[in-house]
Structure 1
């Protein structure tokens, strides 16, 4: 299942990229929301994290890796759980010195039969999930514009 959206941000491309690549802030935000976060790699420009969270009454685990970091235009992440494979791509385009277009793509693919069944049931409500996805990206873009980016929301 794929989700994608674009948002124009009234902020220079470098500032937007700095916000998007603030991994320490994301770790703190995840911990505040009750997720378990363990950093797997600390090499500069690279990273991988183990995330643990409760979903539908079960503890879930996802390994997220930074797979692409091209300053100031691209960030790519790959995630893997027992049932799903996830890819996220963030692309930035400078529209002017003070305006940036951010494109966000999320692709979720099943790895198991139970994953296929869950995704199939989610496809029935894809419109609602798409609206929530777009609203989340829009909210994030507004926080960057106001220079109040705090992933803890």
Structure 2
């Protein structure tokens, strides 16, 4: 299953990428949402090969995930591979320059079930694909507005 969302921001590409790759800030935001996340390995500052371990509740159960930053190419692209409950997700975040002061963020996610129970977890998402895509778009649009606001305040 593949999902994709595009959002345009009124900010330069390098600033948008720098904000998206501010991993300590992202870790703090996840902790505020109840995710226990810690960096396991990788270069400092974060780059290709950095790994995190996360614990969170999903569908009423405590889950554990391994997240690896597979590719890190500033100011254009980051690719993460997440493994949780038999599901492998490949999350790609690309930042495209539309002009000097305008950028587009493209977030794409490919979900692959590796076990039967993982297939059962993904099945409702596939059946409600339209609703899931709208929720993902809304969440990413909200994050983009927040990011755009932070960048405009810091300028």
Structure 2 length normalisation: TM-score? 0.90
Structure 2 matches for 1:4-83, cutoff 5 A?
A: 4-44=4-44, 45-46=47-48, 47-83=50-86
TM-superposed deviation, 1:42: 4.1
| 2:103 maps to 1:100 | yes
2:12 and 2:103 in contact (8 A); partners too: yes
Matched residue count:
149
After TM superposition, where is structure 1 displaced by more than 4 Å over at least 4 residues in a row? none
TM-superposed deviation, 1:96: 0.7
Structure 1 length normalisation: TM-score? 0.91
Residue 146 of structure 2 is matched in structure 1 by: 143
What is the RMSD computed on CA atoms of the aligned residues?
1.5
2: CA distance between counterparts of 1:142 and 1:33? 18
**Structure 1: 5+ residue runs without aligned partners?**
none
2:11 and 2:151 in contact (8 A); partners too: no
1:11 and 1:144 in contact (8 A); partners too: no
